[in-house]
Chains A and B, each alone.
Chain A
Amino acid sequence: MLPNGILAWALVSVVGLLGLFVILYLGLGLWHLRKESVDRAHLLRGRAALHVLLQSPGGALEELRVLESLPRRLQLRLFRQTMRNLVGARNERVRALAEHLGHERWAEERCRSRRWWRRLEGARVLTLLSTGNRVMPSLLHDPVPEVRAQAVEWAATHATPEVIGRLLDLLSDPREVSRFTVQDTLLRIGHSVVEPLIRYLEIHEGVAAVPALQVARGIEDPRFIDPALSLIEDPNPIVRSHAAGLLGTIGGSTAEQALVALLTDPDPRPRAAAAQAIGILGHWGAGPLVAERLRDPSWIVRREAGLALRALGSTGKLLLRRALRSEDPFAADMARQVLDLPETTLDRGVVA
């Protein structure tokens, strides 16, 4: 076996390291306690100074000096805490203060760093300050997903045509890591993205169109009718389902006709989406065709058809009652379940 000497050396090393780590642990603990208490006092002074500066934008040199005396990380923490709760002129005032303290310039320099976490740090500060037009657009092409996602978040308040174009490119980013942020940002931008999104949908098909269709559905603009009508014929059933959902937010006779045609789609997902959209639009003329879907072999289509009939009002309920006598036990069962649903508005909201 191992000679005792080696084990003794191992033991001494372990004990030595253990002692070192214990000292480090307790030392760090003391340092954190001290830092916490100093930071607390600084933040208290800083908050009071910021309050005065917001009340009297012109003067208060003393308070400005107090803010200047704080370490950068505390200044930024203070701005982060404050800016999220302020709007309008006061927010602008805080932003001006941050600029005066050199945060914008500092963050821009960080954004040009070769280290990704520094670029991310800079991008977050510039997003907070809602500034950085000089450096942020280039970060929309950053190779690191986190940095790119941060730049996308920034873009919500800086929606130039170039920026929107880049955001739409990112919708079909194969790495997908920033898709949520892109969709969220496009929804926040709102109607300004309608035209570029239409152009995007005109040239994209298949799964690449799905995230754009989801955004379009959230924006609810009638100008999406043409791309929606085109994509409802896409070979991919998921795309057809999303296109049906979009038509359900638009309405009109053309959309209704397309949705009725989709009720006989070979895939159950578009059939279900079409039935749901018809229900949302309240297109009672399609009631008998929707009622036929109660006999659909797919449960999800039967369910959506039943709920759609319910949404169509008295016409739909009449059709549901007729379905109770259907030869198809599945259709009769679904009709019974839908007719048994409670009537109140509150309860209606909880069944769909």
Chain B
Amino acid sequence: MMDIAEILARGGVALEWGILVYFLLINGFYALLLLSAAMEMRQHFRRTAGENRWRVLSSRAVPRISMIAPAYNEAATIAESIRSLLSLYYPNLEVIVVNDGSKDDTVAVMAREFDLVSIHPIYQRQIPSQPVRALYRSRSHPNLLVVDKVNGGKADALNAGLNLARGELVCATDADTLLEADALLRMVRPFLLGSDVVAAGGTIRVANSSLVRGGRVIATRVPWKPVPGVQVVEYLRAFLFGRLGWNRMGGNIIISGAFGLFQRSAVVAAGGYAHDTVSEDMELVLRLRRIGYERHTSHRVEFVPDPVAWTEVPESLRDLGRQRDRWHRGLADVLWRHRRLLFNPRYGAMGLVVIPYFWLVELLAPVVEAVGLAVLGFAIAQGSLDLSFAVLFFLVAYGLGLLLSALTLLLEELSFQRYRRMRDRILLLLWAALESVGLRQLSVLWRLRGIGKFLRGRTDWGAMDRRGFQRSEAPSTRG
């Protein structure tokens, strides 16, 4: 008979082996994703080199795009945001701004700046949403429609916009996201070349510290502050190798809420955005793909690697913690809602590869990492584990994380080279190092908190203090 100490020791060893195998599996999968991303990037550049995107501007065959931008208490920035949307290069564009029951002067500012007139269009409420109080059309920009509705959250605002959208494609964006002028020309490409595409997402970059003029990023800068700085590296890694890599390995299930293009008929048929989740963007994409598999209809989701949108990220650890906690809660919620996809061969590569990856790697990684740390600490305290082994293991683990970040930076340098100053490149290396040994550990805590909140059923968003973009000159609020 084994005594308790021996059982504990054997259990500890088994757990350590389990963690080691998990660690090797994760890093092996990361390497595979990186390889896949590099191949996709090469393919993308081959496809688009020397392409005449401007031809679309003079085409009568392009689909209409309805851009839906929910706005809540954005009186200070709404005029500039709308101008930025209206000046996007696209020949057949409709902009729908949904005021989601703002308590400030958002509607009054829009009415003043865009000469709004009340209208009564005949439309069908195909997707339920909170009541619409009024609808306005701009006299100065006839392709601008403003929806004033009772507050119901971002998903509800997007649904209200969907009911009024007339485009074949709808683009969901945040009113505070900065888009590249030719973002739509790039994003519409998958829809023009493939009739089975239901959604497309693009790369989102960090705008903090970059110079902004007229709602456009005119010079990219890497922030000096560590919190937004490390997020630049994180975003690069998430988009350049994460989502791009998935394009080849079973498809994407995430399109950022900051900028995504969808086939309207598919979204309406799927019932629009879900109200009761904090991750409505991911939930919609997963539902679209799931429905596609179940009804044998189109369900391809494409990722466009070109940087198309810029967003402001949290500048304080408190805000960042809230954001990550919410993201992880959203991930847990979405994966739980669609749990029957897990290892289900009916859903092809999505059920057998993508969803298991998101469960085992994205969702449970903080749990495994925390358990691993606890077991290692316990084993060292018990004297059953060699301290030098533990230190070496840590160094290898974090070295691999750093290697991944360095490879992502290399991929960026080989592809888009958006950070042009040498100073920015060096800063990126510095933030990559800090991300692996500082933010990652904090992130484990935040994500564990997110899982805890999900288990307790919390669905609040949490607030974020926005500092605004660094402008190259005072923005004009009029004409």
| Given known contacts A153-B55, A177-B194, A4 and B426 CB-to-CB distance under 8 angstroms | no
| B119 adjacent to A342 (CB under 8 Å) | yes
B59 within 8 A of A: yes
A22 within 8 A of B: yes
* Distance in angstroms between the alpha carbons of A189 and B60 in the assembled complex: 12
| A7 adjacent to B59 (CB under 8 Å) | no
Q: Which of A4, A29, A176, A347 contacts B425 (CB 8 A)?
A: A29
B112 within 8 A of A: no
With both chains docked as a complex, state the minimum distance between the C-beta of A104 and any C-beta of chain B, in angstroms.
Answer: 15
* Distance in angstroms between the alpha carbons of A286 and B400 in the assembled complex: 74
At the interface, is chain B mostly helix, strand, loop or mixed? helix
| A4 adjacent to B388 (CB under 8 Å) | yes
Chain B residue nearest in CB terms to A3: B389
| A1 adjacent to B122 (CB under 8 Å) | no
* Distance in angstroms between the alpha carbons of A337 and B135 in the assembled complex: 14
Chain A residue nearest in CB terms to B54: A84
- Among B42-50, B230-238, B279-287, B341-349, the one that faces the other chain is B42-50
B139 within 8 A of A: yes
With both chains docked as a complex, state the minimum distance between the C-beta of A173 and any C-beta of chain B, in angstroms.
Answer: 11
Q: Which residues 392-428 of B have a CB within 8 angstroms of A?
A: 392-393, 395-396, 399-400, 402-403, 406-407, 409-410, 413-414, 417, 420, 422, 425-426
| A128 adjacent to B425 (CB under 8 Å) | no
With both chains docked as a complex, state the minimum distance between the C-beta of B463 and any C-beta of chain A, in angstroms.
Answer: 36
* Distance in angstroms between the alpha carbons of A58 and B422 in the assembled complex: 45
| B121 adjacent to A299 (CB under 8 Å) | no
* Distance in angstroms between the alpha carbons of A149 and B48 in the assembled complex: 12
* Distance in angstroms between the alpha carbons of A270 and B389 in the assembled complex: 74
Chain B residue nearest in CB terms to A178: B193
For the complex with contacts A21-B409, A29-B413, A176-B195, 20 further pairs of A-B residues with Cβ separation under 8 Å are A1-B13, A1-B20, A14-B399, A14-B400, A18-B399, A18-B402, A33-B420, A124-B52, A149-B193, A181-B192, A184-B55, A303-B122, A307-B122, A334-B122, A337-B122, A347-B117, A349-B142, A350-B145, A351-B121, A351-B122
| B binding-site residues for A, Cβ under 8 Å | 13, 16-17, 20, 46-47, 49-52, 54-55, 59-62, 117, 119-122, 124, 137, 139, 142, 145, 192-195, 385-386, 388-389, 392-393, 395-396, 399-400, 402-403, 406-407, 409-410, 413-414, 417, 420, 422, 425-426, 429
CB pairs A–B below 8 angstroms (16 shown): A7-B392, A7-B393, A7-B396, A10-B396, A17-B403, A18-B406, A21-B403, A21-B406, A22-B429, A121-B49, A146-B47, A146-B193, A180-B62, A183-B61, A306-B122, A342-B119
| A binding-site residues for B, Cβ under 8 Å | 1-2, 4, 7-8, 10-11, 14-15, 17-18, 21-22, 24-26, 28-30, 32-33, 36, 76, 80, 84, 117, 120-121, 124-125, 127-128, 145-146, 149, 153, 176-181, 183-184, 187, 214, 218, 299-300, 303, 306-307, 334, 337-338, 340-342, 346-347, 349-351
